[in-house]
A = this chain, B = another copy of it.
Amino acid sequence: MTNPVPTPSVPAPDIVRCAYMEIVVTDLARSRAFYVDVLGLHVTEEDDEAIYLRSLEEFIHHNLVLRKGPVAAVAAFAYRVKSPAEVDAAEAYYRELGCRTERRADGFTKGVGDSVRVEDPLGFPYEFFYDVEHVERLTQRYDLYSAGELVRLDHFNQVTPDVPRGRAYLEDLGFRVSEDIQDSDGVTYAVWMHRKQTVHDTALTGGNGPRMHHVAFATHEKHNIIQICDKMGALRISDRIERGPGRHGVSNAFYLYILDPDDHRIEIYCQDYYTGDPDNPTITWDVHDNQRRDWWGNAVVPSWYSEASLVLDLDGNPQPVTERDERSEMAVTVGADGFSYTRKDGAEAEGFKLGAQL
């Protein structure tokens, strides 16, 4: 790790969970068709500039804000903190880090009150808030329950060039590591970090960044995810299914990656595991384990490694993207030069599933 982020002298804000993402979309109606008509997120409120969406079991105002803008990008990764005072703590924390911060007593979006946004040391626009409007929690509104219903916001995923640097910074901020991917030389390719008692509230994926890799919503069961695929097939937008469905090695969740009309990547996810004990075991995966990204050994498509969304600074301009110096996971695992194992000590010829597909 070069140039580590210093540890502030003041306490980190006490973060509860990832709470919402604000994304800029270039055509609000087209995005509404995707998030509301296809995915079935529930509209809390909308106007000509923005749509506020929430998942079925959410009781705060929104989990996703779609805001109209000229360039598709992410405007904020917003975390809820434990009390109003923790917003002050967040502001002080980032000021000491020398980051640009902006505090708004009335919030940056509808439904949210006193908040601070920062350009964090990795270049991401992070928001911290406590005050938020409570809305109807639709948990038992089974009259509204679609076959592919999204019930919770689960996590963010961020692309950053130097994963160990980002990890140390997020550990200082109170996140704990549940799983990571490394190689035998000690290169870290990705790391999963949580505040709430799931595998992650956010993950860092090694690559050119800062960029947003994906935002993930949870379903109750696996068939709900399959229905989303089936529906996208029926709507003849199956080319917007990028990867999956499958079972993750990391996190053990059942997953699907799809692309919104601006190519923002959405994950649909279910059934990871409880991580709330203080000594929850951390799992390290070998980057050459073919089952780390898909437990069934299905290949990761190259676009999943290379494509991601821009993120904005506090003026709304895209942050410049820095290239990753270290080895890329795609280079070491995909295609002729990458060789990975399914069975580590197989006496038989190793099952190189990727090769079998080319």
Interface string of A171-199 (1 = CB under 8 A from B): 00000000000000000000000001100
Closest chain B CB from A54 CB (angstroms): 13
Q: A16-B276, A134-B281 are in contact. Are A145 and B247 (CB under 8 A)?
A: no
Selected contact of A296 from candidates B197, B233, B280, CB within 8 Å: B233
| 11 extra A-B contacts, CB within 8 A, seeds A220-B221, A241-B297 | A57-B273, A83-B278, A140-B249, A145-B147, A197-B197, A237-B342, A238-B291, A238-B342, A239-B356, A241-B296, A242-B356
The stretch among A112-120, A161-169, A298-306, A310-318 that forms the contact with chain B is A298-306
Chain B residues lying within 8 Å of A140, measured Cβ to Cβ, are 230, 233-234, 249, 252, 295
Selected contact of A223 from candidates B17, B221, B302, CB within 8 Å: B221
Closest chain B CB from A222 CB (angstroms): 6
Q: A221-B223, A252-B140 are in contact. Are A239 and B274 (CB under 8 A)?
A: no
Asked if A227 is an interface residue, CB under 8 A from chain B, the answer is yes
Chain B residues lying within 8 Å of A97, measured Cβ to Cβ, are none
Interface string of A207-237 (1 = CB under 8 A from B): 0000000000000111100110111111111
Asked if A110 is an interface residue, CB under 8 A from chain B, the answer is no
Give A284-299 interface residues, CB cut-off 8 Å to B.
290-291, 295-299
Interface string of A323-358 (1 = CB under 8 A from B): 000000000000000000011101000111100111
B233 touches A142 (CB 8 A): yes
Instruction: Count how many chain A residues have C-beta atoms less than 8 Å from C-beta atoms of the other chain.
Output: 79
Asked if A34 is an interface residue, CB under 8 A from chain B, the answer is no
Closest chain B CB from A261 CB (angstroms): 10
Chain B residues lying within 8 Å of A230, measured Cβ to Cβ, are 140, 142, 145, 247, 295-296
Closest chain B CB from A267 CB (angstroms): 15
Q: A221-B222, A223-B223, A356-B301 are in contact. Are A274 and B342 (CB under 8 A)?
A: no
Asked if A277 is an interface residue, CB under 8 A from chain B, the answer is yes
Selected contact of A238 from candidates B197, B222, B242, B351, CB within 8 Å: B351
Asked if A137 is an interface residue, CB under 8 A from chain B, the answer is yes
A351 touches B143 (CB 8 A): no
Selected contact of A139 from candidates B59, B241, B273, CB within 8 Å: B273
Closest chain B CB from A236 CB (angstroms): 5
Q: A223-B221, A238-B290, A238-B351 are in contact. Are A277 and B232 (CB under 8 A)?
A: no
A291 touches B343 (CB 8 A): no
Q: A221-B223, A276-B197 are in contact. Are A301 and B145 (CB under 8 A)?
A: no
Chain B residues lying within 8 Å of A152, measured Cβ to Cβ, are 274
A277 touches B16 (CB 8 A): yes
Selected contact of A234 from candidates B80, B143, B229, B238, CB within 8 Å: B143
Asked if A279 is an interface residue, CB under 8 A from chain B, the answer is yes
B134 touches A297 (CB 8 A): no
Closest chain B CB from A147 CB (angstroms): 4
The answer for the CA separation of A295 and B142 in the assembled complex, in Å, is 11
Closest chain B CB from A355 CB (angstroms): 10
The answer for the CA separation of A302 and B301 in the assembled complex, in Å, is 16
The answer for the CA separation of A273 and B57 in the assembled complex, in Å, is 7
B295 touches A240 (CB 8 A): no
Q: A222-B222, A238-B291 are in contact. Are A196 and B274 (CB under 8 A)?
A: yes
Q: A196-B197, A223-B222 are in contact. Are A239 and B147 (CB under 8 A)?
A: no
Chain B residues lying within 8 Å of A236, measured Cβ to Cβ, are 291, 342-344, 346
